[in-house]
Amino acid sequence: MITIIPAIDIIDGKCVRLSQGDFATSKVYREDPVEVAKEFEAEGITRLHVVDLDGAKLGRVSNLAVLEKIVKATSLQIDFGGGIKTDSEIQQVVDAGVTFVSIGSMAVKDPETFNKWVQTFGPEKFFLGADVRDGKIAVSGWLEQTGIDAVEFIQEQMTKRISNVFCTDISKDGLLEGPSLTFYRHLLFACPGLRLVASGGVSSLEDIRQLNQLGCEGVIIGKAIYENKISLKELKEFL
């Protein structure tokens, strides 16, 4: 059964959402991400995707204190990312008690450093983010487009025993128009053994059912929950 993973995106310590990665579209949904996390847990959620959007934009971890509060207040399995650039930041996030460290841009822009982290902390500690626009990888909070083919990039990472990957189609993110089923189907076919978490565009229970049928390991849901397109009670079908 597919794992439901609500997203908490943080700017200035508050729970926000963007559309298509555009910081100008930032909308505050809740003032206290800790309370949001506790509400998710109370409804049976076990996983949480936490993104430090300030960190992603500035290139350094900026909301570690919020992460630490969520970890202390819940028993959720948490992945955390956004702006992680150094060994010490990886260690801080691990010490905070996360299940996974989410890495995206660094795996693309500085593969040597990422490889060193994988060797030091183990591949199972990382949740690799592949953000995709038109089949190509985007980095730096989606602000930079590369010419790197997304499927080839993930195939290469799997040779390093990285298997936990979340893939976001930026063109779908925050628009509530449905996920990129065709791309995910292609990706799963091209990458046997991939534990794929889909992200972006999910707007209905039917979207989740289709992703489950494709063989996705999990699905990250953000705006659909905050805009009440999908209720936490409806999600109990998958919990």
Residues marked as catalytic: 9, 131
The pairing of strands 47-52 and 14-19 is unpaired
Q: How does 176-191 read in b/e, with b if 16+ C-beta sit within 10 Å?
A: beebbbebbeebbeeb
Dihedrals φ, ψ of 62, to 5°?
-125, -15
Are residues 127 and 100 in contact, defined by beta-carbon separation less than 8 angstroms? yes
Nearest in space to 170 (alpha carbons), one of 80, 104, 79: 104
Looking at beta carbons, which pairs linking 122-126 to residues 24 or more positions away fall under 8 Å? 123/160, 123/161, 123/162, 123/163, 124/164, 125/94, 125/100, 125/101, 126/100, 126/101, 126/102, 126/162, 126/164
